[in-house]
Amino acid sequence: MSAKINIADLPEFDMAEHLDSDQAIAEYLTIVLEENNPAEFAHALGTIARAKGMTEVARASGLTREALYKALRPTSHPRFDTIMKVMQAMGLQISVQPTSHA
């Protein structure tokens, strides 16, 4: 007989803990982009920034930590130039390709 597991006893899942390589980060962000959800994209960038170190990403992007957290929370609507600054600071770039139904 297996023991019952109390959900409250399970550790909280944190995606940032699993983004330990550039390849993992690229795959994660690609999957999120395919969802076509701007709020989820901002949240994913925030998760990646936490994985890379929020202070370092803020410094490299020219934003304060507070502004970075605010811009990348799931309910935010960051400006495109902010997204590009953050992505460049994290060593990422967006690639464009045609969709199959275009």
Residue 98 inside a domain? The answer is: no
Residue 85 inside a domain? The answer is: yes
Q: What is the pLDDT of residue 102?
A: 57
What is the total count of domains within the chain?
Answer: 1
Domain that holds residue 80: 21-89
Residue 94 inside a domain? The answer is: no
Residue 2 inside a domain? The answer is: no
Over residues 28-51, the pLDDT tens digits come to 999 999 998 988 999 999 999 999
Q: Is 42 left (phi over 0), alpha (psi -120 to 50) or beta?
A: alpha
CB count within 10 Å of CB 68 equals 25
- Which residues of the chain register pLDDT less than 70? 1, 102
Q: Is 2 left (phi over 0), alpha (psi -120 to 50) or beta?
A: beta
